Amino acid sequence: MFVFHRLLLSISVKHIRLPKGGKYLNVTFSNGEEAALSSEWLRVNSPSADAHQTGPHSNDIQPIFGKSTVLINGIEQTGRYAVRLVFSDKHDTGIYSWDLLYDLHKNKIAKMKEYLLSLRKFNLSRRPRKMRTSLRTEHTP
């Protein structure tokens, strides 16, 4: 489970850009640090409540999975403190504050290890599930 801790130092974003293709969000923070946050990383760390699913145990929250191919289709500024991202899987309710973006940048390694362990715990994958199609053929004499 990911827990966002508010940073003691409040950060702001100097520049934010969504390059063509939507695989990354490029962010320049007020302290001069730059980050290229992948669409998958942002999607699986969506702060919206509807993005989190309860697992088989009431205290377990199942991680968001199967988002390795998701893209960012749009970005919309929300006040002076955040952006709302629109993803190719139609998810568009997450509001990403500057502090959250900075946290996802600074703590990526630790959070990624935690995410991968969580996927393993629930026997899930970063890759999207393949749709199973059953081809039923009728044989006529």
Q: Are 87 and 71 in contact (CB under 8 A)?
A: yes
The pLDDT of residue 41 is 95
The pLDDT of residue 24 is 96
Q: Which of 28, 27, 29 is nearest to 12 (CA)?
A: 29
The pLDDT of residue 101 is 97
Alpha helices in 1-141 (DSSP H): 39-44, 98-106, 108-121
| Helix (H) and strand (E) counts in the chain | 3, 8
Structure tokens at 120: 């393993």
The pLDDT of residue 61 is 79
Q: Which letter, b or e, does each residue of 94-114 get, where b requires 16 or more Cβ atoms within 10 Å of its Cβ?
A: bbbbbbbbbbbbeebeebeee
Q: Are 124 and 66 in contact (CB under 8 A)?
A: yes
Provide block-wise average pLDDT over 10 residues at a time, the chain (141 residues): 45 95 96 97 87 53 89 94 96 94 96 93 88 49 48
Q: Which of 101, 90, 84 is nearest to 48 (CA)?
A: 84
Q: How far apart (Å, rounded) are the C-alpha atoms in residues 60 and 67?
A: 20
The pLDDT of residue 58 is 44
